[in-house]
Amino acid sequence: MSAHSLALLKASGISKRFGGVHALSDVGFTINHGEIYGLIGPNGAGKTSLFNVLTGIYASDGGEFVFDGLPLNGLKPNQVADRGIARTFQNIRLFANLSALENVMIGRHVRTRANVFGAIFRDAKTRAEEKAIEKRAYELLEYVGVHKRANSLAKHLAYGDQRRLEIARALATEPKLLALDEPAAGMNATETESLKLLLKDVRRDGTTILLIEHDMKLVMSVCDRVLVLDYGKKIAEGSAGDVQKDPRVIAAYLGGEVSLNLRGAA
C-alpha cells in the first residue's frame, strides 16, 4: 500500500486560540486506515478542542486536516459528518426525549434522501427507505447491545447504555472515522471491559477509531498508537508502550518541575 492510501486522516499545524489561551498549537499527526488511535493528555490539554476543530464545531486558526485525500477546512459539522467522520461527546449529547431507536434513526439522516414531498406523499421509494432506516437502526442497537431498550427514551437508559447508544447513533452515519470523546468516563470495570470488545468489533468491521480516554488501562489495551497532548502541544506519539515510558509524558501526568516546586513551597 502507498503512503497515501494508508493514511485516513492527516493533520498538520493545527492551531486554535481562545483569546490569549493557546488551546492547540501546531499539532500534527496521521491516523491510518483500520487503526485505533488514542488521544490522551491531562485535563485541559486540548483533546476536546482538537475534536471540535476536526468536526467543524470550531474553526481552526491555522493548519489543515486532510481526510480521505481531501481537505476538511471550512466545512460545517454536518458536512464533516457527510464526509465520513462521526463523533460522540464527552458530556453525552443524545436526543434525550426521543427513543433509543429514533436516536439511531436520526443518525441515518445523512445517508438517506427523502424530502418533504416524499414525506407527505409516502411514495414507494420513501416507504422502502423508511423501512430500511428502521431495520438498520435496530441492527445497530443490537450491535452495541441496547436493542432491549429500543423504545425507551434515551434519557431513561442506564449511563453505560447511553454511551453505547451514542456510539450506535454515530455508527448509523456510516463513518470512515469514529471519534469517541471519553466513552469510558463514568463506567465501571465490567462496562469498560465490554466497551473494549465493542471497540475491537467496530475496528474489525472496517471503521477507524480516534479515541480520547482517561482510562489508561483501556487506552493501553486497545490503541495501536497514542498521541499525547499537554497545554495544546504534542509532546509524544507512538505505540502505547513507548509513550508510557516517555519522560515528558510522565512529567505531564505526574507533575514536572512546577509541581515539585509547589511541593517544596508547601
Partner 1 sequence: MHALLDLKQNPRTAWIGLALIGVALVVLPFALAAVGTAWVRITNLAILFVLLSLGLNIVVGFAGLLDLGYIAFYAVGAYTYALLASPHFNLHLPFWIVLPIGAAVACFFGALLGAPTLKLRGDYLAIVTLGFGEIVRIFMNNLSQPVNITNGPQGITLIDPFRIGSFSFAERETIAGLDFTGPVKYYYFLIVVLLAVIVINLRLQNSRIGRAWEAIREDEIAARAMGINTRNMKLLAFAMGASFGGVSGGIFAATQGFISPESFVLVESIMVLSMVVLGGMGNIWGVILGAVLLSFVPEVLRYTVAPAQQALFGRLLIEPEVIRMLLFGLALVLMMLFRPAGILPSALRKRELESRK
Rule CB under 8 A: say whether 197 interacts with partner 1.
no
Residue ranges in the chain assigned as alpha helix (H): 3-6, 47-54, 77-83, 100-107, 116-121, 124-144, 159-171, 189-204, 216-222, 240-245, 247-254, 257-265
Q: In whole angstroms, what is the distance from residue 118 CA to residue 116 CA?
A: 5
CB of 211 to partner 1, least distance (A): 17
Site for partner 1 (CB under 8 A): how many residues? 46
Helix 124-144 × helix 159-171 angle, to 10°: 140
* Helix/strand/coil percent split, the chain, to 5: 45, 25, 30
Interacting residues with partner 1 between 224 and 243 (CB under 8 A):
none
CB of 6 to partner 1, least distance (A): 26
Q: List 16's β-bridge partners, or say none.
A: 24
Residues 6+ apart with CB under 8 A from 190: none
Interacting residues with partner 1 between 88 and 127 (CB under 8 A):
89, 93-99, 102, 105-112, 114-116, 118-120, 122, 126
Interaction mask 43-82, partner 1, x per CB under 8 A: ------------x-x------------------xxx--xx
Rule CB under 8 A: say whether 152 interacts with partner 1.
yes
CB of 161 to partner 1, least distance (A): 14
Rule CB under 8 A: say whether 163 interacts with partner 1.
no
- Angular region, 68: left φ>0, alpha ψ -120 to 50, beta rest: left
Judged by the rule CB under 8 A, the positions of this chain that interact with partner 1 are 55, 57, 76-78, 81-82, 86-87, 89, 93-99, 102, 105-112, 114-116, 118-120, 122, 126, 129-130, 133, 149, 151-153, 156, 169-170, 172-173
